[in-house]
Structure 1
Amino acid sequence: MADLIGAYVAVVGPGSGATSDDVATAAQIAEALARAGATIVTGGMGGVMHAAAEG
């Protein structure tokens, strides 16, 4: 993945309506983005946003 230092990536998605696949995918993608240097921005209210914040 390209160098993303200084980039902000917003993650918005379903909370209570998120499937287990949605949650797993969000966590994996957010982790990869963070490892590349991006700052992950979420509402953190559950589901996809919470998973991305933990990723």
Structure 2
Amino acid sequence: MDALVHLYPKLSVGGYVIVDDYRALPPCRVAVYQYRREHGITDPIEEIDGVGVFWRRTR
């Protein structure tokens, strides 16, 4: 979650968030879910390769 806390606010609208261990590490998935929920992020999460995911910041 530290990476999201420090970097997401600096991400431009239209930029992409890539999380490479989203499906491999349950704590990673939980941290992403919590951060998105706490910040009202509803942009759809797209799978990359069965392990990693990304989403595009729309606001």
**TM (normalized to structure 1)?**
0.43
TM-score (norm 2): 0.41
